[in-house]
Amino acid sequence: MRALECSRSSVYRLIDMMRDRLHAPIEADGEQRGFRYQLKPGHTYQLPGLWFTARELQALVAFRQLLKELEPGLLEEHLSPLSELIEKLIQDKRLHLGEAPRRIRLLGMAARPMGECFRVAASAVLQRHRLLIRYHSRSKDELTERTVSPQRLVRYRDNWYLDAWDHLRDALRSYAVDRLRAAEEMDEPAEEVDDARLDEHFASAYGIFGGKANKTAILRFSRERARWVADERWHPQQSGQFLTDGRYELKIPYRDARELTMDILRHGPEVEVVEPQALREQVAESLRRAVEKYAT
């Protein structure tokens, strides 16, 4: 009481909090007329190193639930000790966060399972080590072995990708993590690529395809579809405006048209490619081939 300059009741509240909420092994000592630690043989106790407000706990629980919804079992064994501590704090604070599994849902679409290689890749990214990988390319249907210096892990459209410096190609490449057939973390340090170069290669192009953007698509959406598209973000460097007739014009930088074409086609007759001519013809050809399938 003298050390803390508080009342007798405050001391008892502190003891209760440490014993009941922080699970300190405190028990009453009748002979000494006080309290003491009663540790089991071989056990130690220290105050927890993590302190959260109610809002911080709510955010942690929401994040944990989202991670479970995104990837069932992903990092579960690594996060379980923290999860147990959070659960105890939740129960003590009576925040009703046990409702999270029922109240928070994240619906994924076309997600592909990753397997054990994700953990190896994540470790190499954070520890800055090179990776020896065996990679199966869908486009070429071939299996290759190569050494890469991992730079970033990227989650894009419900799937994970590894951005890395490929020492075989001597260039930046992006690998779908689910296509890694084997991954081994090496002792050799990863070659560093600065953020500006990574952003120029991966972020300036459209979608998952890398390379600096060298073309600009001009798309015009119908008045009805404009209400949705005007609020969507297709590209970090996009620009858009409403036209006088209510349509919406969207300008998008790109390099490889494959993913952009798929996104354009999902809008069907509600969008028109104005420029460039090559992209306009590519979309038109895809629509012609689709119509031919229904001609009979």
Enumerate domains of the chain plus CATH numbers.
Answer: 54-103 (no CATH), 117-193 (2.30.30), 215-293 (no CATH)
Top-confidence residue, 226 or 139: 226
pLDDT tops 80 at residue 87: no
- Asked if residue 114 lies in contact with residue 71, where contact means CB atoms within 8 angstroms, the answer is yes
pLDDT at 73: 58
DSSP 212: -
Cα separation, 238 vs 252, in Å, equals: 5
| pLDDT band at residue 138 under the 50/70/90 scheme | confident
18-35: pLDDT as tens digits? 888 888 899 998 888 889
DSSP 168: T
36-85: pLDDT as tens digits? 888 888 777 877 666 667 677 777 777 766 666 666 555 566 666 666 66
The 3 state secondary structure assigned to 222-235 is CHHHHHHHCCCCCC
Cα separation, 69 vs 78, in Å, equals: 17
Residues near 264 by Cβ (< 8 Å), separated by ≥ 6?
217, 219, 271, 273, 283
- Asked if residue 252 lies in contact with residue 206, where contact means CB atoms within 8 angstroms, the answer is yes
pLDDT tops 60 at residue 93: no
pLDDT at 51: 65
Q: Given the structure tokens 């460039």, which residue do they identify?
A: 276
Helices (H), the chain: 8-20, 54-70, 76-93, 100-103, 117-127, 195-198, 223-229, 258-265, 277-293
| pLDDT band at residue 189 under the 50/70/90 scheme | very high
Distances (CA, A) of 185 to 117, 148, 182: 10, 10, 10
The percentage of the chain sitting over the pLDDT mark of 90, rounded to a whole number, equals 47
pLDDT at 265: 95
Top-confidence residue, 288 or 208: 288
pTM over 0.75: no
Cα separation, 167 vs 173, in Å, equals: 10
The token pair at 62 is 């929401």
Tell me the β-bridge partners of 32. Answer: none
Cα separation, 185 vs 122, in Å, equals: 10
Q: With H, G, I as helix, E, B as strand and everything else as coil, classify residue 153.
A: strand
Show contacts of 263-270: CB within 8 Å, 24+ apart. 263/207, 263/234, 264/217, 264/219, 267/221, 267/225, 267/229, 269/222, 270/221, 270/222, 270/224, 270/225
pLDDT tops 80 at residue 133: yes
User: How much is the average pLDDT of 238-259?
Assistant: 94
User: How much is the average pLDDT of 120-145?
Assistant: 92
Top-confidence residue, 281 or 207: 281
Report the mean per-residue pLDDT for the chain. 85
